[in-house]
């Protein structure tokens, strides 16, 4: 085997791929060949590193030099300076990794320092399309251990003792689910993996599938052994083409190596896997709708019970776990359930991946121990809010979750704390909002999503969310009354208690939590007919302040000629004619145009 | 795959593929590779160091490179940083000397005085 003195890791997750990562890879290959370094330096295509804000990302080991925002043109300098002459190209490094005279390695920068990567541990470290790299980092060792040393009962016991809870949203204890499926009656059983990641802004499952697909294969095989299943289905949305492709490559490689198929490790255990593509309906992330969709039926939920553990795919007992849940399994077996249970809080063990987005400096994926506070995630890992703006709230759990206001910044994040605040863990989406966000508008945004995605099977969700939406529209247009707020609250509670599945049961959460913590903003909309954040168009107008120098730029820019004024004199906006497009604000060099 | 031995064999063979990708802990061996170093023959020295480290399966050792450190007349130079110890600078290196440094300094902990910079100081 060739010996390499340096490894160049190029992120080829979805984010970086969409900004030229593949061209950067090609450029490295070409330049290394030109400088005759291809036998010394190896280029590796990896999954997502998590700090998507800084993409495309290139990391050079052994130094751990962390290059961010790399363009194809930069590759030449990195090759000639760093790889050929050993001089790190400082101006291309991630800004935070340079501190006075020293250059910090990737794991020393703020974004990674507080993280503890368990389910993401291989993402960005190995080439997801090479099974040997996964094996080199202890891949399939857990499966070998389980198959050769443990009984199915002992296997389930380990998962139970670890305290692992489902990472897809509900937080149900995984060990119990495994046990129910194992004890269910039936010759034929299945395991399934929920990779129908539908929350807007959440992409941890995609990242695992793209960056470390073999971990899912290994875990599902372990689960199959534990519950007595010989076939696993991965239900993944077709909108994740890179994830689908890499998982298929991984499955093929595992079959070729005999890690899937008949008589694995000579133990007589057979297991194989199939991919099922989803069409991207949010409701198919709900477990019973997902099962229907796997069978080729319309993606609509079934009443529970019976739970999938009793009647799942093709009415056979089925163990269904989420991608992130599976991604924790091998580590639990290699390091022991006590190790896992030692991380996190009393009732929420281990780590959780969050997809951080919205008004935050370090947009990306991070993994922290349960019990980390919201403040640590937003300020220490997330790097705070751009432009020094004030934190207003963080929305967790996507359209099923709620908003957590600034008063609760120091709440340790775990399943139960979030529920008691009126939000939920969900899949781990985290959207940060600052003073410029209108909370009524945010609630409307999420509700708009659930109205679209409601499958229509049960009336509370189908009709109720639509009525809520109409009420919110009224409020944001300045036509709401105080009575609307009470109606909204009552309707929300009814929908929660009477909907068939998780989609309807959680859809009112964004409205309820914003009503609870930001009622003053709702009241400003209905009583004062004002939007305090200046977001709701019908309630805001544009004004020109005394800072106006009369440069006429805004006047020229206005598409409806609603701005009047002579050269070098203060201009005014005709608020009746104004269509509130905001074009003038962007054009004004003196920041003299304000919304209020 | 029928046995764990097979899995472990692949693991062993593939370790080299990934073991560079760790944080900077343990021993660091730096080869100075400015124009002067390269011209004086630093690259064969570097490759000899890497080969030797891999051949002996030494863990927690990183072989890396740096630019010119200013002592161009002494090139090729190599520095060894062991945790908790003073760094040692070796000068006028060759691939043969490099292999000896790995064997004596890195493996046995005996600094090769005759190659160290002190031996050449006026």
- Please give, one letter per residue, the 3-state secondary structure of chain B: CCCHHHHHHHHHHHHHHHCCCCCCCCEEEEEECCHHHHHHCHHHHHHHHHHHHHHCCCCCEEEEEECCCCCHHHCCCEEEECCCCCCEEECCCCHHHHHHHHHHHHHCCCCCHHHEHHHHCC
B60 CA: distance to closest CA in chain A (Å)? 11
Output the average pLDDT for chain A: 92
Q: Is the dihedral of CA B97, B100, B105, B106 positive or negative?
A: positive
Cβ proximity of A465 and A496 under 8 Å: no
Mutate to test the interface with A, among B11, B53, B70 (most CBs of A within 10 A): B11
Selecting from A133, A144, A258 the residue whose C-beta is nearest the C-beta of B17 gives: A133
For domain A131-340, give the fold: Rossmann fold (3.40.50)
The CATH number for A6-107, chosen from 3.40.50.620, 3.40.47.10, 3.40.30.10, 3.90.79.10, is 3.40.30.10
Q: Say what the pLDDT of residue B39 is.
A: 86
pLDDT at residue B19 greater than cutoff 80:
no
Tell the CATH topology of A439-528: de novo design (two linked rop proteins) (1.20.1440)
Domain positions in chain B are 25-120
Residue range A561-590: mean pLDDT, rounded: 91
The percentage of chain A sitting over the pLDDT mark of 70, rounded to a whole number, equals: 98
Residue B101 near residue B112 (C-beta atoms within 8 A): yes
pLDDT top residue among A200 and A524: A524
Greatest mean pLDDT range, A93-97, A255-259, A567-571: A255-259
Digit-coded pLDDT (tens) for A200-221? 888 999 999 999 999 999 999 9
Q: Is residue B15's pLDDT more than 70?
A: yes
> How confident is the model over A232-285, as pLDDT tens digits?
999 999 999 999 999 999 999 999 999 999 999 999 999 999 999 999 899 999
Where does the pLDDT of residue A2 fall: very low under 50, low under 70, confident under 90, or very high at 90 and above?
Answer: low
> Containing H/E element for A425?
none
Q: With 60 as the cut, is the pLDDT of residue A477 above it?
A: yes
| Superfamily of B25-120 according to CATH | Glutaredoxin (3.40.30.10)
Residue A336 in tokens = 């022991």
Residues of chain A in contact with residue B24, where contact means CB-CB under 8 angstroms, are 62-64, 105
Out of A85, A108, A133, whose CB is closest to B33? A85
For chain A, helix (H) and strand (E) counts, in that order, are 26, 20
Of the candidates B2, B47, B64, which has its C-beta nearest A258's C-beta?
A: B2
% pLDDT > 90, chain A: 77
The CA distance from A25 to A20, in Å, is 9
pLDDT at A356 > cutoff 60: yes
* Topology (CATH) of A351-434: Ubiquitin-like (UB roll) (3.10.20)
Would you state the pLDDT for residue B75? 87
At A103, the pLDDT band (50, 70, 90 cuts) reads: low
pLDDT computed for residue A168 by the predictor = 86
Percent of chain B with pLDDT over 70: 91
Chain A environment of B78 (Cβ under 8 Å): none
Of A146-160, A348-362, A483-497, B54-68, the least confident: B54-68
Residue A9 clears pLDDT 90, i.e. is over it: yes
Q: How far apart are CA A576 and CA B94, in angstroms?
A: 83
Position A333 pLDDT exceeds 90: yes
Contact A128, A47 (CB under 8 A): yes
The answer to whether B24 contacts A5, with C-beta atoms less than 8 Å apart, is no
Residue range A541-595 in CATH 3.30.70.20: yes
**Interatomic CA distance for residues A440 and A445, integer angstroms:** 9
Q: What is the pLDDT of residue B38?
A: 84
**What is the least distance, in Å, from the CA of B78 to any CA of chain A?**
13
Task: Please report, to the nearest 10 degrees, the dihedral formed by the alpha carbons of residues A141, A146, A147, A150 taken in order.
Answer: 150
CA distance A293 to A544: 55
Per-residue model confidence as pLDDT tens digits over B52-109: 988 888 877 888 877 777 777 888 999 998 877 888 889 999 999 999 999 999 888 8
Query: Hey, which of A29-38, A218-227, A541-550, A569-578 has the most confident mean pLDDT?
Result: A218-227
Give strand pairing partners of B81.
Answer: B28
Q: Where are the domains of chain A?
A: 6-107, 131-340, 351-434, 439-528, 541-595
**Least CB-CB distance to A257: which of B1, B16, B67?**
B1
SS3 A104: coil
Residue A1 confidence (pLDDT): 47
Confidence category of residue A329, pLDDT binned at 50, 70, 90: very high
Q: Tell me the pTM.
A: 0.86
Rounded mean pLDDT, A79-97: 85
pLDDT band at B14 (very low <50, low <70, confident <90, very high): confident
Q: Which residues of B18-51 are buried (b: 16+ CB within 10 A; e: fewer)?
A: bbbbbebeebbbbbbbbebbbebebbebbbbbbb
pLDDT of residue B70: 74
- Residue B33 to residue A86, Cβ atoms within 8 A: yes
Residue-wise pLDDT for A363-380, tens only, equals 889 999 999 999 999 999
Confidence of residue A474 (pLDDT cuts 50, 70, 90): very high
ipTM of model over 0.85 = no
What's the maximum distance between 2 C-alpha atoms anywhere in chain B? 64
The answer to whether the CB atoms of A86 and B54 lie below 8 A apart is no
**DSSP readout, A248-301?**
HHHHHHHHHTTSSEEEETTTTEEEEEEEEEE---GGGGSHHHHHHHHTTS----
């Amino acid at each position: 085997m060739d010996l390499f003195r340096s490894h160049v890791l190029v992120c080829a997750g979805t984010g970086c791929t969409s900004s030229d990562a593949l061209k950067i890879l090609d450029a490295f290959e070409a330049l290394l060949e030109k400088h005759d370094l291809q036998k010394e330096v190896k280029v590796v295509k990896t999954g997502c590193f998590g700090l998507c804000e800084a993409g495309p990302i290139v990391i050079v080991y052994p130094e751990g030099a962390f290059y961010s925002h790399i363009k194809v043109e930069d590759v030449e300098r990195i090759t000639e300076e760093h790889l050929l002459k050993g001089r790190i190209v400082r101006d291309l490094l991630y800004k935070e990794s340079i501190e006075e005279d020293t250059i910090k390695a990737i794991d020393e920068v703020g974004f990674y320092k507080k993280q503890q990567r368990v389910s993401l541990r291989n993402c960005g470290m190995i080439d997801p399309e090479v099974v040997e790299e996964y094996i080199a980092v202890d891949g399939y060792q857990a499966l070998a251990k389980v198959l050769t040393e443990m009984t199915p009962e002992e296997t389930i016991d380990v998962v139970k003792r670890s305290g692992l809870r489902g990472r897809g949203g509900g937080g149900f204890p995984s060990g119990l689910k495994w046990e129910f499926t194992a004890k269910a009656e039936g010759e034929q059983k299945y395991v399934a993996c929920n990779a129908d990641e539908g929350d807007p802004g959440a992409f941890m499952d995609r990242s695992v599938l793209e960056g470390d697909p073999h971990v899912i294969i290994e875990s599902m095989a372990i689960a199959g052994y534990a519950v007595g299943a010989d076939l696993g289905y991965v239900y993944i949305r077709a909108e994740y083409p890179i994830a689908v492709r890499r998982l298929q490559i991984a499955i093929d490689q595992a079959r070729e190596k005999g890690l899937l198929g008949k008589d694995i490790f000579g133990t007589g255990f057979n297991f194989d896997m199939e991919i099922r593509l989803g069409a991207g309906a949010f409701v198919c992330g709900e477990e019973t709708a997902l099962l229907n969709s796997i069978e080729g039926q319309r993606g609509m939920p079934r009443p529970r019970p019976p739970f999938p553990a009793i009647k799942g795919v093709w009415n056979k007992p089925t163990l269904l776990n989420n991608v992130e849940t599976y991604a924790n399994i091998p580590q639990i077996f290699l390091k022991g359930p006590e190790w896992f249970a030692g991380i996190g809080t009393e009732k929420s063990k281990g780590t959780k991946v969050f997809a951080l987005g919205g008004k935050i400096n370090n947009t990306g994926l991070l993994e922290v121990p349960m019990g980390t506070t919201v403040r640590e995630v937003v300020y220490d890992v997330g790097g705070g809010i751009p432009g020094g703006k004030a934190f207003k709230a963080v929305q967790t759990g996507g359209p099923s979750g709620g908003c957590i206001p600034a008063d609760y910044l120091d709440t340790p994040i775990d399943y139960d704390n979030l529920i008691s605040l009126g939000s939920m863990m969900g899949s781990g989406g985290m959207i940060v909002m600052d003073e410029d966000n209108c909370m009524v508008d945010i609630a409307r945004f999420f509700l708009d999503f659930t109205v679209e995605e409601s499958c229509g099977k049960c009336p509370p969700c189908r009709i109720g969310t639509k009525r809520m939406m109409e009420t919110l529209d009224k409020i944001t247009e300045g036509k709401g009354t105080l009575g609307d707020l009470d109606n909204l609250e009552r309707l929300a509670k009814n929908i929660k208690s009477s909907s068939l599945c998780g989609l309807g049961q959680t859809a009112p959460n964004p409205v309820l939590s914003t009503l609870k913590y930001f009622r003053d903003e709702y009241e400003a909309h209905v009583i004062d007919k004002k939007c305090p954040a200046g977001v709701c168009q019908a309630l805001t107008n544009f004004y020109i302040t005394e800072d106006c120098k009369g440069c006429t730029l805004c006047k020229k820019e206005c598409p409806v000629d609603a701005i009047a004024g002579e050269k070098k004199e203060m201009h005014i906006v005709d608020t009746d004619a104004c269509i509130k497009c905001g074009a003038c604000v962007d054009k004004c060099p003196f920041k003299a145009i304000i919304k209020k | 795959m029928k046995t764990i031995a097979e899995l472990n064999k692949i693991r062993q063979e593939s370790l080299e593929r990934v073991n560079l990708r760790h944080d900077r802990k343990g021993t660091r061996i730096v080869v100075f590779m400015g124009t002067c170093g390269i011209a004086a023959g630093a690259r064969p020295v570097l490759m000899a160091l890497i080969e030797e480290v891999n051949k002996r399966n030494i863990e927690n050792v990183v072989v890396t490179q740096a630019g010119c450190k200013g002592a161009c007349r002494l090139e090729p130079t190599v520095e060894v940083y062991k945790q908790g110890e003073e760094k040692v600078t070796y000068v006028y290196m060759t691939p043969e000397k490099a292999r000896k440094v790995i064997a004596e300094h890195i493996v046995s902990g005996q600094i090769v005085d005759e190659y160290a910079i002190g031996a050449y100081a006026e």
